[in-house]
Structure 1
Amino acid sequence: MSRTTCAPGSRKRSTWRWARPTWKRSPTRTTAPARSDHPRRRTLPPYGRFQTAPGRRLAVRRSARLATTGRAVADRAGPAMTPTPFQQRRRQPLLNEDYYLFYNDHVRTHTMADIEHALLHGELSDEMRWLEYRRKADELYEMMVRDYTAGQPIGEFRERLGAVVAAYQDAAHFNRIFENEPAMPLFDFRYKDDYVRVVDLVSLPILLHREDLIPAVHSLFKGGAPDENDALIEDLLGKYLPDRPYLEDSYQPVPYGILLDATAQTPMEEKQEDIALFLDAWYPAMQGVGWYDCHKHQSPDGAGGHFGYWTFDAAAVAYLYEVDDTPFREHPHYPKDLADFARSMPRAKI
């Protein structure tokens, strides 16, 4: 992807909106402070903001209905059953209790032990070593997010995030040894699975006030092709790291171009609308990633791999750009309590 820089306040972005059942590009948006000469940029279907022709619903509304329609799938429980303490505590209703209990116990007692045993093997190849470290990092990350989804207290994730980032640093180190490339990025931003993970790894230290981990997360792709080449990543890093560029484009404009709009110099109402639109568009746009719809395959013996569907980046943008999240904080993909935690203390400088 070619790099395009611009001066702050002069960025022109092409945004994406869900119009009818397909993505359509809206008119170019100018983010200069004075907006009186700029027409409103939305491209909306003639039938209203969130629906198409009569009798047809947009796919984006499915994501907003996950919290209500997923309960029967997740628990196979009738409406008359009394919710268990786990069901009352969890932050998303799609997480099945039996699956959660088995999977977390199995990962802690078997999967992580297997990984550590493999890493102690003296004759492990460089390729297998970095793959095992990547596997360890992914398991630690997904276990942490799964515990967040299950309703565990936020405070404990501050320390756990440090272990997650350290594991990814180990994976990046041995990947560079294997590739014989000192600036080899651990993540390929062209692939949505990788892009979502790295955006989350940038967002979580912001929300959990582990600002000290932001340079470590940046080190995972520092000096590689994605570095200083993605507008959303730079808008987040630029709040903490010096001399970051102000860019136009994202590696994943669908759906992240919508969230990118919320970082521009626009009125509060437009920022709120941008984030709300992003939240609705996010899950349908994730089709094709490895964890898409994995909640449908949960079983008591640990099958499924579900750990939650969260837009940590939306909460990070709302926090950093001081967006009142009242209109969208109840969205099932928005981590409202992480956003509240971030606002509960001042932002630290690095």
Structure 2
Amino acid sequence: MSELFEQRRREPLLQEVYYEQSVNFKEKNLADPEIDAMLTDLSIDNARRKRTSWRRAYKSLELLIQRYSGGAPLADLEAYAARAFAQFQRHYAAFSDAKLKLWEPDAYQYVMWLLSLAVLLGLKEWVPTIATWISTDPEDGQDVLVSRLFGRLGVSLPGESLIHDKPYADLLRATETHGEAQQQAMANYLKRWYGGMKDCYWFDLHKERTDAGFFGYWSFEAGLVTLLWGIDDGSYREMRFYPKDLADFGREQAMAPQGEVQKPHISRRTGERCPYAGRWGVLESPGAFVQERMFRKGDVFPEGIGRDRQEGPVTWIVMGREDGGPTREA
């Protein structure tokens, strides 16, 4: 393991060689033209397309978390988050019957990840859309904690009882108390969080075979509640699984002056040469990258692809540089 990666990584269990292998595999999958074609080929069995579509969506979320675990700059994670949300949006537009059912531990955690990362990375505009991916059928589960979190952000969802008492009872308690009791509830939640995730597919993933795609263990929802309820995290910010720097970043985003203009991403038009090796994408709508490719320094940027409704000259925006440099203009 290189000294740079060891210093940069946030997840202490992450090994550089396996991290690079997994990240590269996921990136190739997300830009695989054969999968693109399959997802739009109605002659292919619907169930197969749905499975493939869902895999691409949740793998894009895993990749976002993996980038965070590996030490990617927080400001650069916005593009990866927007891509993940766009993949979920694409999936649910194509398969509207495949909503997240809160009684399922994995689905519940997906909701926590999606909502928390949207808010902590300054992408609150996605919150109402994320809410539409959740089933509101009583048989699929209606949860008071999920309802309370979305309600804090101005989105109404039904829910009067807690579906998963372990470990979420402590987190729910943190939204109902104040002062030391609130801080203690958060500390208790972080203590019990990992053990309470044993029914999730990724539990103990770091112990599996080396190519299992371990992407890191983080209670992003602990950072979300800390931010939304204005809790002093001094007593638990050093605890395992708490994304302290992301919580700080979210706080900075929330405190930024209204109307403050963020520096634009580094971008180039069709026909211009690539200034930095890395992953570049084309925007279909604000924050939603629909065309992604790896380019070497000096490559000429091509036109858009017609099937993505961006045929002809387009603007390519850097999503991640191989040299680890900034993705926004100085």
Shared fold, TM over 0.5 = yes
Residues 147 and 156, structure 2, Cα contact 8 Å, conserved in 1 = no
Secondary structure of 1:121's match?
Answer: coil
Residues 112 and 136, structure 1, Cα contact 8 Å, conserved in 2 = no
Residues 95 and 150, structure 1, Cα contact 8 Å, conserved in 2 = yes
Which 5+ residue runs of structure 2 have no aligned equivalent? 259-330
TM-aligned CA distance change 1:224 to 1:172, over 3 Å: farther
Q: For 1:240, which of 139, 153, 177 is the aligned residue?
A: 153
Q: Which letter maps to 1:100? A: Y
Q: For 1:208, which of 89, 98, 121 is the aligned residue?
A: 121
Q: Which letter maps to 2:46? A: D
Secondary structure of 1:238's match?
Answer: helix
Q: How far is 1:117 from its partner? A: 3.9
Q: For 2:101, which of 188, 191, 194 is the aligned residue?
A: 188
Residues 330 and 336, structure 1, Cα contact 8 Å, conserved in 2 = yes
TM-aligned CA distance change 1:119 to 1:126, over 3 Å: same
2:13 aligned residue = 94
Secondary structure of 1:109's match?
Answer: helix
Ranked by relative contact order (alpha carbons within 8 Å, sequence separation 6 or more), the top structure is 1
2:166 aligned residue = 254
Secondary structure of 2:233's match?
Answer: coil
Q: How far is 1:123 from its partner? A: 1.4
Q: How far is 1:324 from its partner? A: 0.5
TM-aligned CA distance change 1:310 to 1:129, over 3 Å: same
Distance 1:153 1:237 in 2: 27
Distance 2:61 2:93 in 1: 18
Matched, 1:104 2:41: no
Q: How far is 1:124 from its partner? A: 1.9
Secondary structure of 1:186's match?
Answer: coil
Residues 30 and 60, structure 2, Cα contact 8 Å, conserved in 1 = no
Q: How far is 1:310 from its partner? A: 0.5
Residues 185 and 221, structure 1, Cα contact 8 Å, conserved in 2 = no
Q: TM-score of the superposition, structure 1-length normalised?
A: 0.68
TM-aligned CA distance change 1:139 to 1:222, over 3 Å: same
Question: Within 5 Å, which residues of 2 pair with 1:304-319?
Answer: 304-319=212-227
Residues 310 and 335, structure 1, Cα contact 8 Å, conserved in 2 = yes
Distance 2:254 2:127 in 1: 16
Secondary structure of 1:345's match?
Answer: helix
2:178 aligned residue = 267
TM-aligned CA distance change 1:345 to 1:108, over 3 Å: closer
TM-aligned CA distance change 1:237 to 1:283, over 3 Å: same
Distance 2:156 2:20 in 1: 45
Residues 221 and 227, structure 1, Cα contact 8 Å, conserved in 2 = no
CA RMSD in angstroms, aligned pairs only: 2.3
1:85 aligned residue = 4
Q: How far is 1:150 from its partner? A: 0.3
1:325 aligned residue = 233
Q: For 1:294, which of 193, 198, 205 is the aligned residue?
A: 205
Q: For 2:91, which of 156, 159, 171 is the aligned residue?
A: 171
TM-aligned CA distance change 1:347 to 1:243, over 3 Å: farther
Matched, 1:148 2:47: no
Q: How far is 1:121 from its partner? A: 3.3
2:44 aligned residue = 124
Q: How far is 1:228 from its partner? A: 9.0
Q: Which letter maps to 2:7? A: Q
CA offsets, 1:143-202, max 9 Å, x none? 1110100000111222222221121122223333xxxxxxx4521211111111111111
Secondary structure of 1:304's match?
Answer: coil
Q: Which letter maps to 2:233? A: D
| Larger mean Cα displacement after TM superposition, 202-211 or 309-318 | 202-211
Q: For 1:276, which of 187, 198, 221 is the aligned residue?
A: 187
Which 5+ residue runs of structure 1 have no aligned equivalent? 1-74, 76-82, 177-183
Q: TM-score of the superposition, structure 2-length normalised?
A: 0.72
Residues 189 and 226, structure 1, Cα contact 8 Å, conserved in 2 = no
Q: Which letter maps to 1:256? A: Y
Residues 185 and 225, structure 1, Cα contact 8 Å, conserved in 2 = no
Q: How far is 1:134 from its partner? A: 0.8
TM-aligned CA distance change 1:172 to 1:239, over 3 Å: same
